[in-house]
Amino acid sequence: MNENTYTFDLLTLFPALFDGLRSESLLGKALQSGALDLQTHNWRQWTTDRHNTVDDLPFGGGPGMVLKPDPIVACLRELRPQRDPRTPVVLLSPAGRLFRQDLAEQWAQGPGLILLCGRYEGFDARVEQHVDQVVSIGDYVLNGGEVAAMAIIEAVARLLPGVIGNSASLTEESHSSGLLEHPHYTRPREFEGAAVPEVLLSGNHAEIDRWRRRQSLLRTKLRRPELLQGLTIDKKDRAWLDAEWAQLQTAAAGQGGDRD
């Protein structure tokens, strides 16, 4: 730990869920090097009743339990003065704004991140008065914010200096170009009857770059067409893409069912 250390603080009722993250791979190494720090805070420790109650019935009725505001806010009140005041406090909720690469890049500028992980039906709404942002990792149902927090930790941590060490493979990856990545191949040259595209064996790097760029465009049009909106595509690439698309449509019409 030093003045450049990036600190993730996780407020969670299940701190053991983060044990794996601590010990594995790049993140584990970054923690050891002091580039990163990851601290869990079980806010059950800030309860004041005999039974250490963290949840209660929802006012207005309905199913499930709601997380009481007082213990988590007490936990936050103790933690915040120990951190750089610019540290964002983020509540993970399915009702949050979508977490995207641009937010990861912003948060990677530092100095750290305080993440609040809910469980049950979520926090009493008044907890939002104490946070800077409410964020969701995507449109699917989780049982709690911990897995969402882990996704955010990975997305942010790999952008920090001293965590990946390979900035070329960072910038070329999916989403930094706004397109999906092209397909990758390695040995063997033929696998279960499928050959590696000849162009990748040609040694012609201009041709390889063009092929990859066009495969990125095609994949994006197939799987994430909304990402192409507002993107300027080179005239020749556009012509190639339209022709390829038309050919795929013809082939699909012959085959019937859905394909990706």
Residues 60 to 99: which contact ligand JBZ by CB under 6 A?
A: 92-94
Please pick, from the candidates 41, 68, 119, 221, the single residue that binds ligand JBZ as defined by CB under 6 A. 119
Interaction between residue 165 and ligand JBZ (CB under 6 A) = no
Cβ proximity to ligand JBZ: between 88 and 144 the closer is: 144
Least separation in angstroms between residue 172's CB and ligand JBZ is 27
- Report DSSP letters for 19-79, one per residue: HHHHHSHHHHHHHHHTSEEEEEE-GGGG--STT---EEPPTT--SS-EE-HHHHHHHHHHH
- The phi and psi torsions of 92 (rounded to 5 degrees) equal -85, 120
Cβ proximity to ligand JBZ: between 12 and 87 the closer is: 12
Token pair in block for residue 61: 């009725």
Stretch that binds ligand JBZ, among 55-63, 71-79, 119-127, 234-242 (CB under 6 A): 119-127
Please pick, from the candidates 142, 164, 233, 248, the single residue that binds ligand JBZ as defined by CB under 6 A. 142
Helix 146-157 and helix 25-33, axial crossing angle in degrees, nearest 10: 70
The span from the CA of 235 to the CA of 257, in Å, is 31
Point out which residues bind ligand JBZ (CB under 6 A): 92-94, 118-120, 122, 136-138, 142, 144-145, 148
